[in-house]
Amino acid sequence: MSVTPDGCPVDLYRALPPAGEPEVIHGAIPAGAEVLELGCGAGRVTHPLLALGHPVVAVDESAEMLAHVTGAETVCARIDELRLDRRFPVVVLGSHLVNGPDRQALLAAARRHLAPGGQLLVEWHPPAWFDQVADGSGGQLGEVRIAVEGVRRNGDRLSATVVYRLGERTWKQSFTCETFPLEPALERAGLRFERWVAADRDWFSARPSNAG
Ligand SMILES: C[S@@+](CC[C@H](N)C(=O)[O-])C[C@H]1O[C@@H](n2cnc3c(N)ncnc32)[C@H](O)[C@@H]1O
């Protein structure tokens, strides 16, 4: 079974349908705007964005994931090391990657690929999520049943395992994430908070804090 360096099973992300992310992004950005998508995986969000009329440059460090992305320009690279000679009107940093340990490097990479006045869309775990998540929480995404187990808290950090079941198949993905004060993190990366773009405050928009 192929698994990315950060523990994502490739077959799982091929099987998971989108959960409204493409519509959130599309609804927050100008029609037809080109998108740089950081950590695109197998294209779960990329493909609907393309269908919604957005050209996408899709970045992931996993060639196995990128092999399943069609219709987008793909770049196999670590986000923190990404230095494309281009800037974009929209950069997307989804999948709660910003709650990981590389937060500042990811935000800096997003910032350096934003065109002047461009828009960064980020999916994060807001502070309230850290209070709510518990063993047994989860749900269903398409045909995939999802359950959280082994929740452990240590200060601002939370570790858990997510169990995904589809028919006879089971995948487990363990993760550690961190809650953090948003505005200082954005400020350090040369960004400023603009607005929430989803009712549950799971997605927000940020802009460069200066013209450069
Ligand atoms: C949880 S998966 C989500 C994939 C996709 N965004 C989705 O929603 O289906 C996270 C993806 O980000 C990629 N990733 C995580 N950290 C990365 C990094 N520092 N540089 C490049 N890719 C990264 C992983 O390889 C994986 O494909």
Which tens digits make up the pLDDT trace of 49-104? 999 999 999 999 999 999 999 999 999 999 999 999 999 999 999 999 999 999 99
Mean pLDDT across the chain: 96
10-16 average pLDDT score: 96
Token pair listed for 58: 């899709």
What is the per-residue pLDDT for 199? 85
Q: Tell me: the pLDDT tens digits for 166-202?
A: 999 999 999 999 999 999 999 999 999 999 998 889 9
CA of 181 relative to ligand 1 center, distance in Å: 23
What pLDDT score does 212 carry?
67
Q: How many CB atoms lie within 10 A of CB 32?
A: 10
Q: Which two tokens stand for residue 108?
A: 């800096």
Single pTM value for the model:
0.97
Terminal Cα distance for the chain, rounded: 44
Read off the tokens for 128.
């309230």
Which of 95, 122, 144 to mutate to test ligand 1, by most ligand atoms within 8 A of the CB atom? 95
The pLDDT of residue 210 is 85
- Cβ of 4 less than 6 Å from ligand 1: yes
Sign (positive/negative) of CA torsion 200, 129, 30, 50?
negative
- Cross-strand bridge partners of residue 119: 90
Burial (CB < 10 A; 0-12, 13-18, 19+), residue 102, is middle
For ligand 1, whether the C-beta of 64 sits within 6 Å is no
CA nearest to 91, candidates 175, 167, 34: 34
CA distance linking residue 60 with residue 78, whole number of Å: 7
C-alpha 186/C-alpha 58 separation (Å) is 23
Please name the residue that has the structure tokens 């970045």.
Answer: 59
**E strands present in the chain:** 35-38, 56-60, 73-76, 88-93, 114-123, 138-141, 144-154, 157-166, 169-178, 191-196, 203-208
Q: Is the CB of 119 under 6 A from ligand 1?
A: no
> What is the model's pLDDT at position 128?
94
CA dist 189 and 79 (Å) reads 14
| Coil vs helix vs strand at 201 | coil
Asked if residue 49 has its Cβ within 6 Å of ligand 1, the reply is no
Residue 1 has pLDDT above 80, yes or no: no
Percentage of residues in the chain with pLDDT exceeding 90?
97
Give me the pLDDT at residue 92, please: 98
Q: Give the residue-averaged pLDDT of 145-150.
A: 97
Task: Report the separation in Å between the CA atom of 89 and the middle of ligand 1, taken as the mean of its atom positions.
Answer: 21
